Structure formats: C-alpha cells, structure tokens
Structure 1
Amino acid sequence: MTKPVVGFIGVGLMGHGMAKNIVEKGYQLVVMGHRNRAPVDDLLARGATEVTSAKELAAQCDIIHLCVSGSPQVEELVRGPDGILASGRQGVVVVDCSTSDPVSTMQLAEELRAAGMDLADAPLAKTPKEAEAGTLDTMVGATPETFARIKPVIDCWASLAVYLGDVGLGHKMKLINNFISLGYAALYSEALAIAEKSGLTVEQVDSIIRPGRLSNGFYDTFMKWTLDRDENAHRFSITNAHKDMRYLANLAASVGAVTPVQADVRNGFAAMEASGQGDRYLPMLADFIAQMNGLSRG
C-alpha cells in the first residue's frame, strides 16, 4: 500500500522534531517555508521538499499537519487566498496540532467537509525534547475513519495518541490540560512569594514539596528556573499561556460555564504580558509575582 504524502506547516520548536520523525519513517514530506531557515534546511537535507504556500502544499499532499501559534494562523492557512481550501484538493485531511480555539476548530471542520476535505485536531503534550525523540502525547478529535487514516503518521511522532471522539474534543481537552498546568504555575508562583515574605526560602519550600505527594513532573520543570536559573527547562512563553487561557475563556462562555478560578489564572498572564514580558518562559511567572510582592530574585 502506498504511503500518503504528508505536508507540514510550522516546523518550529515542536514541529521540526515531528516532521523529522515523519520523513525518517519513510514518508514523503513536503514543508512550507519558515522564517527560521535552520529547521527547514535540516528537513530538506533529510529528503523533504519545500513549497511557498499552503495552497501549493495541499495540492501535493494527502495529510497536512499544522503546528502554528493559534487559531488566527490556522484560519489564514485554511481560508486564505493561498490557503488549503483554495487548492480544491479532494480528500485531504488537515491535522491541526496547534493549541487552537475549539469554537474556531469546529467551524473550520464544517467548511473543509463542505469542500470534500476533513479536519482532525491533535494538539500536543510534552516538550520539544520529546518532539525530537518522537515520543509526544496527543489527544485527537476526528471521525473514526479519519483517525484510522492518520494514526500511522501520528505514530511517527507520538508514543501516546488518545482518541477522544468528535472533531473539537482534542482542542477542548488540550485547553483543560493547559488550564491545570497553568493553574499550577500561578499557584506555585504565589505560594513561593508568600513563603519568602514569611521568612522561608524557596529551597526550604522545595525540600518539603519535592519528596511529598504534591510533587509532579510539571513542578520539577517549573522549579528549575527558580532553583537553578535553567531558562530552557520549560520553554513555553507567557504570551502562549495567555492565549490559551483566552481560548479557554471563549470555550467556557460558549457552554455557559462559571469560571472564577480560570479568570484569576488568566489575569496573571495578562498582567505579565502587558508589562512587556510576554516572550519570557512560564516558570518566570514566579519572578513576576515575586516582584509584585516587593521581592527580588537573583
């Protein structure tokens, strides 16, 4: 059986590793040019080919991965004048691995189906390290038939692919997952500030939390900045965190959910981004909250 031709748009921190694993598993890979040439050139050296538009990419591919910043970028790639819909390619499946707004996702799915195409949402868990290793986790929303079709390609870059059901459920679950993790970030940051103002050191807090029941994998990477000043331990920007919480607020509004905790978590990231620190990474929220409390972190 002939393998499908796979397209990839967004070969950045996460996308490069995913695309690398696809081409190394024997799939013909087509990538769209990226402002950072290094990952594109690496993939070309591994056998991929390059195009300059989503329309051109869709015309050549059976399955297209999108791994971009969020829904505005996804919508432009699908609906734009040089987008996927403009290709008219029947049967193509778009796999949106971005953390997108589920409300937008479901609208795009309807438009693609009307054009004889399909959409699956397959957002990611874990980090660029696992992307390079091909051991990411993903949560997938798609028809059963579409999931069966894309699963062999997903298996190139994911060690765990959980099928949740209808289109949109993957992005909904991703936002719930990120709400929990970003809630941890807000909670840890505030707890550390209270501890320091009370005369405890962050090392003393860690000596109790790390070996106890409250420790977890997120805590480990989050604390590497505060304890070790390791800025690469958790490379997820404040801007992305704020974007995800805005998407969750939109989802909550669409289903009539009451979300007092989510609003507080979102506002912390909004404040840090508004202060001009949106490019900093998530664990650095602890410094921002410390500074709001008159504390200085070295």
Structure 2
Amino acid sequence: MFMAALAFIGLGVMGYPMAGHLQRAGHQVTVWNRSEAKAIAWQEQYHGQRASSAREAAAAADIVLTCVGRDEDIAEVVRGSDGIAAGLKPGGLIIDHSTVSAAITRTLAAEVSEHGIDWVDAPVSGGQQGAENGQLSIFCGGSEAAVARAHDVLATYAKAQAHIGGCGQGQLAKMVNQICVAGVIEGLAEGMHFAQQAGLDVAKVMPLIGQGAGSSWQLLNRYQTMLNDKYEHGFAVDWMRKDLAIVLAEARALGLQLPATEMIDDFYADVQSLGGGRWDTSSLLRRLQEKSR
C-alpha cells in the first residue's frame, strides 16, 4: 500500500473522521485545528501526531489536506508566516476538501505554485455520515499529474472520485451538487408535507416511493428523522446557505438565473429565523409545517 507523510488541517465533523481514516490506513498523519481541544481528542483517539500551527504540520508532510469552512478560512491557513505555504517544501501537494469559491481556489493555487507546490481542489459530497463511513464522492480539480498523485490518498475515504478539470473545476462541480441537493430536499419536504396534510400514513408511503422513480439519498436517509421532527444532526442549514451563496455568486458572474435555488436559499433563511441554523438541511419540512399552522 502507498504510504505518505500527511498533514490534515481542519478537524470539523468532516475532517475529523477523514483524518482518522488516513491514520488507520497506515499513513503518517499530523493534524492541526484552530480549536486545540479537537486536535487533542483526535490524537488520543487515532494516535497520530499533533502540531502547534498549520506551518508546523505542513513541514512534517509531503501532502497537506485541508477541510475548513469559508474562503477566508482557507486563505488564512495557507498564507502568512504560520500558514501551510510557509512550511510545505517545494514539490509538496495541497488537497483542499473545503467547499469554497472557484475564485479563491484559483488564486491560492497560483500563489503556492510560485513555491513549487501543486494544488488539487477536492470538495466532497456525502455529509458527516459519508465521512465517518469512508463513502464520499470527491470532485477533483487540478493538473492531471497532481490529481493522479492525490488519487491513492483520497481512495482511503472515497467511494467515487473523478478528475473534473483544472483548478477550480472541482469547486464548480460541487456547486452543481449543492444545486441538485437543495432541489431534492425541497421536493422531499413538500411531498411529505402534502402526505401529512392529506391524511396519509407517511411512514408507509415514503418507503414505497424510495423503491421507485422518486427515490433519492435524502429520502432514504432522512424521511424517518423528518417524520420524528429530529434535526439536530447532519449538514447544517448555516453551511448550506454559505454554499448556496457561493453558487448564486458564481451564477451571477456567468449571467445565469437559478430561480429555484434562489427560492430555496430564501426558505433556508426562514429556517434560520426559526432558530434552525444548526439544524440538518432536511428541516425544510419544519418550515412548511410552521407555515401551515
């Protein structure tokens, strides 16, 4: 098995188990997280190494993987005297699992290339469950050589991965994913709300739909928690709105209209106003229920 000296930056609900899969696979993993408590807990669980800065973690690695929240977060951990670029040696590779804009991706990729460092944008789909189970889909953007170099590392927790195109193309593909996911969840929420209001036994109806043309990952994995009004899990509404803001900004730059996506983004703003910023994205059903009361 191919083994590498790796650094993993960002131990949130996705990064924490992803870094764990790499360590358990036999890679030498050094982690850094802005909240040190998370890094300490990860080290105790997986017995890897822990660094005091992103730069220190990168200095011990040939490949650095990142999984942070926003454009400003990835810029911060890459740049500066304590950033990845200051520690990673020429010939190194950065694999960014964050969901950020294509613009910041291209900017940072160009900056680190001046230091002889390659970049692969590799946003993921599959949520916390996919990260924990090592069953993520990964959209890869970068040079053919860089993506090929990343392949075996990513295979540790990928059920599917593909080279989409140059730097930034992986992020654009993730935007497509979020457009599709938002539409599917709203359709699922409306269907379940209709069933409830029509007096159907939703617990009987949804498994049948899940065996037909109306099936989706969201239906199969979320209808039961939606029925039970349980939303304290999964991919948070706050993060979905962050992702949809990136989508809509890119659409405006392309001169495109995405009316359904814009509408669903507004619906998620309603969920936030209900106090559901940290609820799972399937909480669109709660919004409909509140509107009908």
Q: Scaled by the length of structure 2, what TM-score is found?
A: 0.89
Is the CA contact (8 Å cut-off) linking 2:8 and 2:19 kept in structure 1? yes
**How many residues of Structure 1 are paired with residues of Structure 2 in the alignment?**
293
Partner of 2:291: 292
Asked whether 1:248 is paired with 2:247, we answer yes
Partner of 1:210: 210
Q: Distance in 1 between matches of 2:95 and 2:218?
A: 27
Q: Distance in 1 between matches of 2:84 and 2:253?
A: 27
Partner of 1:11: 11
Q: Give the secondary-structure state (helix, strand or coil) at the position aligned to 1:277.
A: coil
Partner of 1:135: 135
Once the two structures are superposed, residues 201-239 of structure 1 have per-residue CA deviations (whole angstroms, 9 ceiling, x without a partner) of 64465366334311122212231222244546x601110
**CA-atom RMSD in angstroms:** 2.5
Relative distance call for 1:197 and 1:128 in structure 2 (3 A) is closer
Q: Give the secondary-structure state (helix, strand or coil) at the position aligned to 1:235.
A: coil
Q: Scaled by the length of structure 1, what TM-score is found?
A: 0.88
Partner of 1:160: 160
* Deviation (angstroms), 1:96: 0.8
Partner of 2:277: 278
Unaligned runs of 5+ in 2: none
Relative distance call for 1:210 and 1:159 in structure 2 (3 A) is closer
Is the CA contact (8 Å cut-off) linking 2:59 and 2:89 kept in structure 1? yes
Amino acid at match of 2:86: A
Q: Give the secondary-structure state (helix, strand or coil) at the position aligned to 1:276.
A: coil
Asked whether 1:257 is paired with 2:232, we answer no
Q: Give the secondary-structure state (helix, strand or coil) at the position aligned to 1:181.
A: helix
Q: Distance in 2 between matches of 1:276 and 1:207?
A: 30
Once the two structures are superposed, residues 78-116 of structure 1 have per-residue CA deviations (whole angstroms, 9 ceiling, x without a partner) of 124421233363222111111111122112111111232
Amino acid at match of 2:288: I
Q: Give the secondary-structure state (helix, strand or coil) at the position aligned to 2:99.
A: coil
Give the fraction of aligned pairs with identical amino acids, expressed as a percent: 27
Q: Distance in 2 between matches of 1:61 and 1:282?
A: 36
Tell me which moved more, 186-195 or 102-111.
186-195
Is the CA contact (8 Å cut-off) linking 2:141 and 2:166 kept in structure 1? yes
Q: Distance in 1 between matches of 2:20 and 2:48?
A: 9
Relative distance call for 1:82 and 1:207 in structure 2 (3 A) is closer
Amino acid at match of 1:110: A
* Deviation (angstroms), 1:3: 4.0
Q: Distance in 1 between matches of 2:131 and 2:259?
A: 34
Q: Distance in 1 between matches of 2:229 and 2:268?
A: 20
Q: Distance in 2 between matches of 1:182 and 1:196?
A: 21
* Deviation (angstroms), 1:37: 3.1
Q: Distance in 2 between matches of 1:219 and 1:207?
A: 8
Partner of 1:171: 171
Once the two structures are superposed, residues 171-198 of structure 1 have per-residue CA deviations (whole angstroms, 9 ceiling, x without a partner) of 1111111211111112222344345445
Tell me which moved more, 54-63 or 186-195.
186-195
Is the CA contact (8 Å cut-off) linking 1:12 and 1:39 kept in structure 2? no
Is the CA contact (8 Å cut-off) linking 1:91 and 1:118 kept in structure 2? yes
Asked whether 1:65 is paired with 2:65, we answer yes
Partner of 1:115: 115
* Deviation (angstroms), 1:49: 0.9
Q: Give the secondary-structure state (helix, strand or coil) at the position aligned to 2:155.
A: helix
